[in-house]
Chains A and B, each alone.
Chain A
């Protein structure tokens, strides 16, 4: 048998994962449970995203997370060809869609199952859930 051994393959690049803050933890917990939770002001009721400590409309610091509808319409998109992070090299090109959620905020997520040629502003999509490990689930858009 040959003594020559192939050089060890470099470790596969790791997916960049979110580091939740005290404010955003409930949002990520919700996604892990398959629920789309958004932060609402406890005082004036206004929804806000991304999660933060103060309601910029009434300045209340009290808030609660409530389940929100999953539908939305396409606001803008890009097709990422150059993977600025090594992890995404294998899956490029991929579409990242910015969606006006019916809940009144926007969400940016990868869009799966709709070809680039069919994208147009206002096209309906639905938020889905893509578990990436035991701790983290990311949002993903699919056809409604």
Chain B
């Protein structure tokens, strides 16, 4: 039986601000700026938005959208507190809302002052899921994701022989893609030597294994496919979408397998919903809070076997023209950190044929992942309408 959500909702509009280090704008202003651009991209009157899912905690609440955009009749508002998995999980909620008729157009937005506002250690204390880490791990000097996820990366290296050279490849290729994009924080070439010479943050993660702390906003509009096909831009439908939560969700330390992410559960559901498999994916935007996180997700997504993610990323495979181009916009590692909503925007551009110098030829089907909050995993498979 075909899943009732398959291709019934679409990404109808996308918008983003400049990605910078340093801004005088608030997180709210960044979200609204990106939202207005996304609405213009879709050709939707802002007042017709009736569902809002702002980023939590991102300085904006649904009421701000009513006040600023003059929304006439908001029928759905929600926060999805899943850290880096939030944005793609929000697509699932939005797809359900527009498919059932609860909403016409759902706005998903992120605005972050991750560089000019509060930095990572302070910000995390606002996340409910970090309460256990704050009690048991912060006092021993372990709290930032770079530290919490480093143990899993080290274990992967010990078990499978994954190397820093392979981590570097992800960083270098992602940077090459960022330079093609232009609207990025990191716009100078990066070499393997630069990666290896960068300072150690939390072994095995060096500075260039870590995503950026940056300022910026991003927004997407989700509409029912029947409405979206009459809007301004080429139709890109949501073929499959899912969220997943790992066992021991708030504590990596107590998780039976510390290399198991929520994506282990959500990826098979999204593939089944879309009726596709890894071989059908032309381009992938993989949540890249750390280089290693990309390598492990490629395994979970079925592009290679467990333990083979390191060798998989080598030899040009993940670059433009390779077997599986990934993070064609520069990702969180080089473009900017807007919690992965920039990955959704880039995948939509790729499938519309609007990706400019980073365009993957004949990109028809692609996937985007979200990862966060100690390992929640979300995934969406999008495709260009035939």
Contact = CB atoms under 8 A, between A and B. Distances in A.
Interface of A: 15-21, 24, 49-50, 75-85, 87-88, 91, 93-94, 96, 98, 105-110, 116, 120-121, 132, 136, 138-139
B191 interface: no
Given A78-B202, A120-B158, A15 B139 contact: yes
Interface stretch (B39-47, B231-239, B250-258, B341-349): B250-258
Given A96-B147, A106-B253, A80 B135 contact: no
Rank and list the top 8 A-B pairs by shortest CB-CB distance, nearest first: A78-B150, A79-B203, A76-B151, A76-B155, A84-B144, A81-B200, A88-B141, A82-B201
A75 B204 CA distance: 15
Given A76-B151, A110-B141, A121 B159 contact: yes
A85 B125 CA distance: 12
Given A75-B258, A79-B200, A96-B142, A84 B159 contact: no
A132 B278 CA distance: 51
Q: Taking chain B's interface residues, is the majority helix, strand, or loop, or is none over half, making it mixed?
A: helix
A138 B258 contact: no
B142 A80 contact: yes
Given A82-B146, A120-B158, A77 B254 contact: no
Residue among B140, B142, B202 with most chain A CB within 10 A: B140
B147 A84 contact: yes
Interface in B59-113: none
A96 B154 CA distance: 12
Given A50-B254, A76-B151, A82 B135 contact: no
Interface of B: 120-121, 132, 134-144, 146-147, 150-152, 154-155, 158-159, 199-204, 251, 253-254, 258
Given A81-B202, A108-B136, 16 more contacts: A15-B139, A17-B139, A19-B135, A76-B152, A77-B151, A78-B150, A78-B151, A80-B203, A82-B199, A82-B201, A85-B121, A93-B200, A96-B142, A96-B147, A98-B151, A121-B159
B118 to A, nearest CB: 13
Contacts of A77: 151, 154
Nearest to B141: A88
B135 A20 contact: yes
B139 A94 contact: no
A86 B274 CA distance: 47
A50 to B, nearest CB: 5
Contacts of A88: 141
8 contacts: A16-B139, A20-B135, A75-B155, A77-B151, A96-B142, A105-B254, A108-B142, A120-B158
Contact of A78 (B120, B139, B154): B154
Contact of A49 (B134, B155, B199, B254): B254
A120 B159 CA distance: 10
B199 to A, nearest CB: 7
A7 B264 CA distance: 55
B140 A138 contact: yes
Contacts of B137: 108
Given A94-B141, A106-B253, A108-B253, A81 B136 contact: no
B305 to A, nearest CB: 20
A6 B15 CA distance: 52
A17 B139 CA distance: 5
B303 to A, nearest CB: 24
B123 to A, nearest CB: 11
Residue among B136, B144, B202 with most chain A CB within 10 A: B136
Contacts of A83: 141
B145 to A, nearest CB: 10
Given A50-B254, A82-B202, A96-B147, A76 B154 contact: yes
A35 to B, nearest CB: 17
Contacts of B141: 80, 83, 85, 87-88, 91, 94, 96, 110
A81 B203 contact: yes
